[in-house]
Amino acid sequence: MTNKFFLPSLLFILVSCSDSFDIDVSFGSSDSVYQGIDNAFESTYIPMYSQPILFRSANIYDGLGGEFLNYDLLLSDGVIKEISKSISAPGVFVIDATDKWITPGIIDIHSHMGVYSAPGVSTSSDGNEATSPVTAEVWAEHSLWTQDPQFALALKGGVTTFHVLPGSANLFGGRGATFKNISRNTIQAMKFPGAPHSLKMACGENPKRVYGNRRQSPSTRMGNMAGYRSAWIDAVEYADGMNESNEDRRPKRDLALDTLMGVLKGEILVQNHCYRADEMAMMIELSKEFDYKITAFHHAVEAYKIADLLADEGICAALWADWWGFKHEAYDMVQANVAIVDQARNGTGCAIVHSDDPVGIQHLNEEAAKAMAAGNRAGFNISKAHAMRWITSNPAKAAGIIDQTGSIEIGKDADIVLWSGDPFSVYSKAEKVLIDGAMAFDINDPKIQPITDFDLGIIQPQKNRIQ
Amino acid sequence: MKGFSKNILLLLLTVHVSSETILLKGGLVHLGNGEPATPKDILISDNRIASVGKNLIIDGNTRVIEVNGLPVTPGLISPMSNLGIVEINSLDVTRDDESNILSAGFSIFNAFNPNSTGIPWNRSNGVTSAISTPSASSFPIFGLGSYFVLDGSLKVKGSKDIAMFGRLGSSNESRAETLAILESLLEIGRLFQNSTVDEILDMTLAEKLELQPADIIALGKVVNGGMPFVLETNRAVDILQALSIKQKYSLNLVLASVEEAPMVLDELKESNTPVIIDPMDNIPNSFDELGSNLNLGKILDGAGIPIMFSTQRSHNYHLMRQGSGNAVAHGMSYETAIQGMTDTVAKTFQLNNRGSIESGKFADIIVWDGDPLEPSSFPKIVMIEGELQDLTSRSSKLTERYTNSEEKPSSYKH
């Protein structure tokens, strides 16, 4: 808690951004001549051991707006097999979920876990390659520390999937990647299989402050724009060059331009840190100039001012419930931000509650509860079943993994949370968290609670850090 | 304590006399003193709580507000905030929480801006008063915090320089040095009991520490059980060091953060030291706080240690409700949580007329639309010194503007 009463100083450093999401995008199956580096560092994820599990008499929010009271839910082979009033499955392990709630595993579209690991010391500060405003060549996953104790804390909060982004010091911060919240000793073994990369872009105060302080560009918002445009001009030329049928005529491979080209091809999703409404609109213009799609704006404290535009463009906004005041561009906070974005254009908006924070990620249900209540005070009529989308299916869409997870539907990954009570109550806890049908966390069984290498015997050798 | 009450400058510049006598009828009233809530009526007259109970006798001029069983609490008091002294963290020109010259004697009181946007925002969320503190610009003591009533009045109500704030823990230098500096500063405070400012200024030690007269006078107030001294510290062994200094200098010590307190629970309990915690912070953010855990509140509560609440970030001090709600979810008693946001702060910082719903105290009262510890709840009524407060904030105005579907530019929606 050092220093945190007084100023959230870290926030100045790790600014993040948001993406744009395109549900029609197809990942990694481009038939263009040059395949880039899409096969490098692929996921080697293998689910933990699981057995078929039947939850009996559960109340369920399916993450798509549906509510099912007193239903049975069968998980088998790592996927959701059946949801109905009464399932007969002889010999299957049964968990009584009477008076409890089941939701999809919580998904955070904006995390820096593993790249800003705990303890937050200089040796673990691996999220901002703040050496040049354009560092599209770096990948957040190459910084990840698999023993970050924050992963296990997020798991206790019901988080089964999270997207790790580089920070927001740069105009182009690098690639983000999506992970299953599973304890593994290699980064690739945690990677969500088949999930697309993202490109972190950042608007506003952070890049202009970081580089302006060094008397270099960008030092203004117009400098930011010039920086993006110059990079995209190079990317378009590079992509054209890589389409040459004669290999000898192709340009030398460039990691940064590979990333930008991936965006132009629709294979990499843009997650764009951007607070102010006018800047978000400008970023949309920029995306049209160079023909790419923004998947989501992140932080977007002023998203409510352009909620219709975001809905029209099919861009999600990943938001906090109530953070404000730490920067000038975070001054116009309204607690109804999430609800206004969600309800735009007859409820076709895509709102996400994100954390950008190792404490917040453990309480995304509470953050969604605040956002829902504020929306309803502002005159909307948003149900809990609907608000559950903000921390499940909507972030799954924005991460490009909606076909695999983010909702309770037959055939999807069995990423599930069993809550002790109403998932929107501060008093409820995630009792069991399943990832691909495997029990990753059980509040009543210390044997099913991950303890990282970092946690092991660190304060007193006989004990573990949290016991 | 005696010395402190002599020194404290109580600045109740105006006692606003409310013309209205109000009966809050039929609320589920948390007195703030740790007793479980029961249905009660509250009669408010002349800014103060006149009586609390059932079937109170009222005259025909009393305005009766039916509360219909909603939860009622004292107005929340933030024990550590930057309200009124920081507008935007990243803009130094909007910050008045640091001094380049003063250390222990740096007072933020005269910088308080009653028109700061954080005030109506926190007030509409149930925070009726707060202690604002200097930031951690100097080490190990930053300066003096003051208490402010958040009614937005330009005639600032509150108490000047009610506590000193500091920190002990990891830095670029050895904490042994920090401790030595801290002890030297307190030694100056002790010397001031029997010396003049000029005599102390002539000492080499004062020169080495670059002390100003205001620093020396302030240090004199914290030794020998005077002004509360709030020390932020986490590591178990640092907490023990703090307790030993408390004894040596008879400090009226309050410990903040204390993430490793469970390891030194007996010593902490025995020392009778209140604490300020952020119950949601379970991140081992530094090597000082490896023991960070969500059960901190439960363990401290179990030992009977008085608990108050800080928040993870600035600007939203009302979120101590969410923090204390999480503490209750992890085993703290419900009434300790309510008390920790109200009466415990008032008692710890000697805010004698605040913090509980008790006859004779200022009528700082919140009526909630639901369980005050649920983050989704919100105040229905905010009363400060008997006055019903308008719940409008800049944020509520922006919400109104952008949920108004009239076809005209937003600047014309007002």
Chain A residues lying within 8 Å of B138, measured CB to CB: none
Q: How many domains does chain B have?
A: 1
Per-position DSSP letters for B200-223, written without gaps between them: HHTSHHHHHTT--HHHHHHHHHHT
pLDDT value at B160 more than 50 = yes
Question: B286 and A119 in contact by Cβ < 8 A?
Answer: yes
Q: What is the pLDDT of residue A249?
A: 94
Nearest CA in chain B to A359: B281
The closest alpha carbon to A399, from A278, A296, A260, belongs to: A296
**Residue B97 · residue B108 · CB < 8 Å:** yes
Task: Give residue B224's pLDDT.
Answer: 83
Residues in B touching A2 (Cβ below 8 Å): 167, 169-170, 232, 234, 257, 285-286, 288-289
CA-nearest of B317, B305, B252 to B79 is: B317
Q: What is the CATH number of the domain that holds B84?
A: 3.20.20.140
Q: A381 and A52 in contact (C-beta within 8 Å)?
A: no
Contact A47, A436 (CB under 8 A): yes
C-beta separation of A293 from A266 below 8 A: yes
Q: Does B293 touch chain A (CB under 8 A)?
A: yes
Token pair, residue A441, equals 């966390």
Pairing mode of beta strands A106-111, A159-164: parallel
Closest residue by Cα to residue A306 from A298, A295, A317: A317
How near does any CA of chain B get to the CA of A465, in Å?
Answer: 6
Side-chain half-sphere exposure of A466, counting CA atoms within 13 A: 21
In this predicted structure, what is the pLDDT of residue A38?
Answer: 59
pLDDT at A466: 80
Contact check, Cβ <8 Å, A334/B398: yes
> Structural domain of residue B151, as residue ranges?
2-13+76-353
Q: B81 has which bridge partners?
A: B132
- Residue of B127, B29, B293, B326 whose CA lies nearest to A425: B326
- Mark yes or no for CB contact A325/B118 under 8 Å: yes
Tokens of A181: 């919240």
User: Could you tell me if residue B46 is inside a domain?
Assistant: no
Residue B407 domain-assigned (yes or no): no
Pull the structure tokens for residue A240.
């054209």
With CB atoms and an 8 Å threshold, state whether B232 touches A5. Answer: yes
Residue B335 C-beta-side C-alpha neighbours within 13 Å: 13
Residue B154's closest CA among B113, B210, B213?
Answer: B113
Signed CA dihedral, B96, B98, B100, B104: sign only: positive
User: Measured between CB atoms, which of B97, B375, B396 is closest to A366?
Assistant: B375
A67-76 and A53-61: which strand pairing?
Answer: antiparallel
Quote the pLDDT of residue B108: 98
Q: What is the pLDDT of residues B180-228, one digit of tens each?
A: 999 999 999 999 999 999 999 999 999 999 999 999 999 999 998 789 9
The answer to whether residues A459 and A465 touch, using CB atoms and an 8 Å cutoff, is yes
Evaluate if residue B307 carries a pLDDT over 50: yes
What are the chain A neighbours of B257 within 8 Å (beta carbons)?
A: 1-2, 5
Which of A370, A374, A466 minimises the CB distance to B293?
Answer: A466
> Which candidate from A307, A359, A367 shows the least CB-CB separation from B312?
A359
Which amino acid is present at A279?
E
Whole-angstrom CA distances from A463 to A280, A319, A455, A457, A466 are 49, 38, 9, 5, 8
Q: Does the pLDDT value for residue B11 go beyond 70?
A: no
Does the distance separating the beta carbons of A372 and B376 come in below 8 Å?
yes
Separation between Cα atoms, residue A176 and residue B352, nearest integer Å: 53
Q: Do B378 and A377 touch (CB under 8 A)?
A: yes
Q: What is the DSSP letter of B91?
A: -
Helix (H), strand (E), coil (C) string for B219-263: HHHHCCCCCEEEEEECCHHHHHHHHHHHHHCCCEEEEEECCCHHH
DSSP state of B378: -
Say which range, A137-141, B139-143, B215-219, B355-359, has the weakest mean pLDDT.
B139-143
Side-chain-side CA neighbours of B196 within 13 Å: the count stands at 3
Q: Is A118 close to B285, i.e. CB distance below 8 A?
A: yes
Rounded CA gap, A373 and A65, in Å?
A: 16
Beta pairing class for A101-104 and A93-96: unpaired
User: Smallest CA–CA separation between A264 and chain B, in Å?
Assistant: 34
CB B383 within 8 A of CB B129: no
Nearest Cα to A141, choosing from A197, A221, A215? Answer: A197
Q: Which of B207, B172, B145, B188 is nearest to B345 (CA)?
A: B145
Q: Is A213 helix (H, G, I), strand (E, B) or coil?
A: coil
Smallest CA–CA distance from A12 into chain B, residue: B90
- Cα gap B160→B162, rounded to integer Å: 6
Pairing of strands A101-104, A53-61: parallel
Question: DSSP letter at A327?
Answer: S
Provide φ and ψ at A169, rounded to 5°.
Answer: -65, -30
As a whole number of angstroms, the distance between CA A230 and CA A260 comes to 12
Say whether the peptide bond before residue B228 is cis (omega within 30 degrees of 0). Answer: no
Nearest CA in chain B to A328: B88
Mutation target to probe the A interface, by most A beta carbons within 10 A, among B399, B404, B411 is B399
Question: Are B322 and A1 inside 8 Å of each other by CB?
Answer: no
> Which residues, 6 or more positions from A90, have their beta carbon under 8 angstroms from its beta carbon?
none
- CB A258, CB A235: distance < 8 Å: no
Per-residue pLDDT of chain A (467 residues; tens, 9 = 90+): 333 333 333 333 334 333 333 333 333 334 444 555 557 899 999 999 999 999 999 999 999 999 999 999 999 999 999 999 999 999 999 999 999 999 999 999 999 999 999 999 999 999 999 999 999 999 999 999 999 999 999 999 999 999 999 999 999 999 999 999 999 999 999 999 999 999 999 999 999 999 999 999 999 999 999 999 999 999 999 999 999 999 999 999 999 999 999 999 999 999 999 999 999 999 999 999 999 999 999 999 999 999 999 999 999 999 999 999 999 999 999 999 999 999 999 999 999 999 999 999 999 999 999 999 999 999 999 999 999 999 999 999 999 999 999 999 999 999 999 999 999 999 999 999 999 999 999 999 999 999 999 999 999 999 999 86
Lookup: tokens for A111: 């995390």
Q: How many Å apart are CA B295 and CA B292, to the nearest integer?
A: 9
What percent of chain B is predicted at pLDDT more than 90?
A: 92
Residue A78, both tokens: 């790592």
For residue B225, give the 3-state DSSP assignment: coil
Contact B257 A307 (CB under 8 A): no
pLDDT, tens only, A19-66? 333 333 333 334 444 555 557 899 999 999 999 999 999 999 999 999
Strands B158-167 and B9-11: antiparallel
DSSP strands (E only) in A309-414: 316-319, 351-353
Q: Taking the domains of chain A in order of start, what are their residue ranges?
A: 9-48+107-408
pTM over cut 0.90? yes
Asked if residue B213 belongs to a domain, the reply is yes
Dist. CA B286–CA A121, nearest whole Å: 7
* Domain A9-48+107-408 listed as CATH 3.20.20.140: yes
CB–CB of A6 and B314 under 8 A? yes
**Run of H or E including A95:** strand A93-96
Buried b (16+ CB within 10 A) or exposed e, A343-352: bbeeeebbbb
- Distance between CA atoms of residues B202 and B11, nearest Å: 33
CB contact under 8 A, A426 and B118: no
CB contact under 8 A, A335 and B395: yes
> Which residue out of B282, B299, B371, B392 would a mutagenesis test of the A interface target, given it has the greatest number of A Cβ atoms within 10 Å?
B282
3-state helix, strand, coil in chain A (%, to 5): 30, 20, 50
Which residue among A1, A209, A426 sits closest to B326, beta carbon to beta carbon? A426
Do A192 and A137 form a contact (C-beta atoms < 8 A)?
Answer: no
Residue A425: closest CA among B299, B27, B377: B377
d(CA A213, CA A203) in angstroms, rounded, equals 16
Query: Hey, is the C-beta of B283 within 8 angstroms of any chain A C-beta?
Result: yes
* Interface residue B385 vs chain A (CB under 8 A): no
